[in-house]
């Protein structure tokens, strides 16, 4: 992939088509007009300015990841080579931002049945991302991997998350029992350099360690070692991924809202929120992008769902992100999207050129209602169904827009991830909230610590003990 070539970059640019957000298409009541853009021009400009002025600072360190990781990337590539040589499996232990990026990039860029391929075809280790503490899942993992041929990557920025650290304790114990001193060579830690417990443990145990930069929050961390190491282990071109992100960053330097895809989508969502559209549906029409919707849900939900604004006012803002998959969810969700409440914006992701073509075979010639499919390809069918859904939503006056990828590759995926990250930052600035904190998540984490008797959480435990007791009459 020649991602340094200007013509290639141009050819691989994403397109954002927001026709179906405009009054001409979805009607006056729902849609927007050029006048709405004009009216909100200042808001868009100041969001753009906020991001431009704050990039690389505070919790906006993620904006520099496409540029400032040269040595780290080389280390990651060398480590991935070593992992490939020594191990059959690579298991990520992490949750939230420390898991959703690796899952979505793996699904997008590897063979859709990577782990099931025979080793000769797979060429790279199998990848498992364990983002839950379901005991059955842990037992199931241990049933299918040979621990002696497995490398684990424990990822946690805070170095304290109960889910991840409990997984670490279980696996390290198994490794030590099975391998003795060799256990450390089966575990890589990715964490904050200065904060948390994992860094202390990693030093004590002598683990190979990668760092999550201070200004990179969990949900903005896919393009740092959190995501880059698992991606490199399964053979993904991480330099192309970063090049795609840098290209999108360059496009989004443009402060003209209608020429900046991240800014225009942020503004459209912002104006929709103001109109009461409290649900944001992310619907990729490609199995490879299925988990991008999961990653987006965390990014959008955790970043924009906030109780207070930057001036301390209670605002309770945010859109509930919903994931859907085209065409699968046409037969599950689209009925609601087309006929239910007018409370959604639907973002469709389309792919122009799939990596393979499957022809629909001839047969059933005497039944025209079936045989009309023959001779076409599944590629044509999935894209026809995407256009059909866009049409069906639009004719029912439902706000929707489409992001079109020329194809799914490391470069275009880098563009897409970075576009969503910038869009989130812009939209947060428009809403005047702190996009980069997550007090709601911390609330749940702290309550778990209290329930498990962690030192320092006695007050939370007391509060929980004094909370109203559940009544048996409300349980049946």
Catalytic residue set: 302, 331, 445
**Site for ligand PA5 (CB under 6 A): which residue of 272, 333, 412, 438?**
438
- Specify the residue, 14 or 202, whose C-beta has the smaller distance to ligand PA5: 202
CB of 37 to ligand PA5, least distance (A): 31
164 lies in the site for ligand PA5, by CB under 6 A: yes
Q: Considering only CA atoms, which of 284, 253, 303 is closest in space to residue 421?
A: 303
Candidate ranges 89-97, 231-239, 389-397, 420-428; the one touching ligand PA5 (CB under 6 A): 89-97
Position of tokens 């309550």? 447
Candidate ranges 211-219, 252-260, 263-271, 345-353; the one touching ligand PA5 (CB under 6 A): 211-219
Q: Considering only CA atoms, which of 345, 409, 292 is closest in space to residue 14?
A: 409
Peptide bond into 394 cis (omega under 30): no
Candidate ranges 155-163, 177-185, 427-435, 448-456; the one touching ligand PA5 (CB under 6 A): 155-163
239 lies in the site for ligand PA5, by CB under 6 A: no
Cα dist from 407 to 13, 49, 291, 376, 413, whole Å: 10, 31, 17, 20, 9
- How many residues interact with ligand PA5 (rule CB under 6 A)? 15
- How is residue 52 written in tokens? 């431009």
161 lies in the site for ligand PA5, by CB under 6 A: yes
Of residues 213-232, those binding ligand PA5 (CB under 6 A): 217-219
95 lies in the site for ligand PA5, by CB under 6 A: yes
Pairing state of beta strands 344-353 and 279-284? parallel
202 lies in the site for ligand PA5, by CB under 6 A: no
Candidate ranges 71-79, 95-103, 232-240, 388-396; the one touching ligand PA5 (CB under 6 A): 95-103
Position of tokens 């329930």? 451
- Specify the residue, 197 or 460, whose C-beta has the smaller distance to ligand PA5: 197
- Specify the residue, 156 or 209, whose C-beta has the smaller distance to ligand PA5: 156
**Site for ligand PA5 (CB under 6 A): which residue of 61, 97, 213, 318?**
97
- Specify the residue, 297 or 351, whose C-beta has the smaller distance to ligand PA5: 297
- Specify the residue, 302 or 390, whose C-beta has the smaller distance to ligand PA5: 302
**Alpha-carbon gap, residue 300 to 424, rounded angstroms:** 6
- Specify the residue, 299 or 346, whose C-beta has the smaller distance to ligand PA5: 299
CB of 434 to ligand PA5, least distance (A): 12
Cα dist from 5 to 10, 247, 349, whole Å: 9, 11, 25
- Specify the residue, 209 or 272, whose C-beta has the smaller distance to ligand PA5: 209
CB of 61 to ligand PA5, least distance (A): 13
104 lies in the site for ligand PA5, by CB under 6 A: no
Q: Considering only CA atoms, which of 106, 79, 386, 360 is closest in space to residue 222?
A: 106
96 lies in the site for ligand PA5, by CB under 6 A: yes
Q: Considering only CA atoms, which of 388, 294, 387, 373 is closest in space to residue 96?
A: 294
C-beta nearest to ligand PA5: residue: 218
Which residues touch 143 (CB under 8 Å, ≥6 apart)? Answer: none
31 lies in the site for ligand PA5, by CB under 6 A: no
| Burial per residue of 104-123, b for 16 or more beta-carbon CB atoms within 10 angstroms, e otherwise | bbbbbbbbeebeeeeeeebe
CB of 21 to ligand PA5, least distance (A): 28
Q: Considering only CA atoms, which of 119, 109, 117, 111 is closest in space to residue 84?
A: 119
153 lies in the site for ligand PA5, by CB under 6 A: no
- Specify the residue, 164 or 288, whose C-beta has the smaller distance to ligand PA5: 164
Interface residue list for ligand PA5 (CB under 6 A): 95-98, 156-158, 161, 164, 217-219, 302, 438, 441
């Amino acid at each position: 992939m020649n991602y340094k070539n200007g013509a290639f970059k141009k050819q691989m640019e994403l397109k954002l088509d927001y026709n179906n957000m405009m009054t001409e298409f979805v009607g006056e009541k729902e849609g927007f007009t050029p006048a709405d853009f004009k009216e909100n021009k200042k808001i868009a400009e100041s969001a753009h300015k906020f991001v431009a002025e704050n990039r690389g600072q505070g919790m906006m360190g993620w904006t520099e990841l496409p540029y400032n990781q040269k040595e780290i990337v080389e280390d990651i590539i060398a480590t991935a080579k070593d992992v490939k040589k020594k191990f059959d499996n690579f298991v990520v232990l992490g949750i939230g931002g420390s898991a959703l990026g690796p899952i979505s990039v793996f699904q997008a860029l590897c063979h859709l049945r990577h782990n099931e391929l025979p080793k000769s075809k797979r060429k790279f280790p199998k990848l498992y991302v364990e983002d839950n503490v379901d005991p059955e899942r842990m037992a199931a993992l241990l049933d299918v991997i040979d621990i002696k041929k497995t490398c684990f990557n424990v990822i946690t920025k805070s170095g304290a998350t109960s889910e991840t650290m409990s997984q670490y304790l279980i696996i390290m114990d198994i490794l030590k029992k099975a391998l003795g001193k060799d256990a450390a060579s089966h575990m890589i830690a990715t964490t904050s350099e200065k904060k948390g417990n994992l860094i202390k443990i990693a030093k004590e145990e002598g683990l190979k360690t990668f760092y999550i930069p201070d200004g990179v929050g969990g949900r903005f961390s896919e393009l740092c070692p959190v995501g880059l190491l698992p991606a490199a282990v399964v053979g993904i071109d991480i330099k192309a991924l970063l090049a795609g992100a840098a290209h999108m960053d360059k496009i989004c330097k443009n402060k003209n809202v209608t020429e900046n895809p991240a800014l225009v989508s942020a503004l459209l969502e912002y104006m929709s929120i103001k109109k009461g559209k409290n649900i944001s549906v992310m619907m990729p029409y490609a199995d490879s992008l299925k988990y991008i919707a999961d990653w987006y849900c965390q990014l959008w939900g955790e970043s924009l769902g906030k109780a207070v604004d930057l001036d301390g006012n209670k605002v309770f803002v945010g859109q509930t992100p919903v994931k859907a998959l085209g065409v699968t969810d046409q037969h599950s969700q689209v009925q609601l999207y087309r006929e239910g409440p007018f409370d959604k914006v639907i973002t469709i992701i389309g792919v122009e050129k799939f990596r393979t073509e499957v022809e629909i075979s001839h047969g059933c010639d005497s039944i025209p209602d079936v045989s009309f499919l023959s001779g076409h390809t599944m590629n044509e069918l999935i894209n026809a169904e995407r256009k059909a859904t866009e049409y069906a939503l639009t004719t029912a006056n439902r706000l929707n827009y489409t992001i079109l990828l020329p194809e799914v590759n490391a470069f275009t995926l880098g563009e897409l991830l970075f576009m969503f990250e910038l869009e989130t930052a812009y939209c947060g600035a428009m809403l005047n909230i702190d996009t980069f904190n997550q007090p709601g998540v911390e609330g749940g984490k702290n309550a778990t610590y209290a329930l498990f008797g962690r030192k320092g959480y006695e007050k939370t435990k007391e509060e929980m003990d004094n909370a109203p007791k559940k009544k048996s009459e409300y349980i049946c």
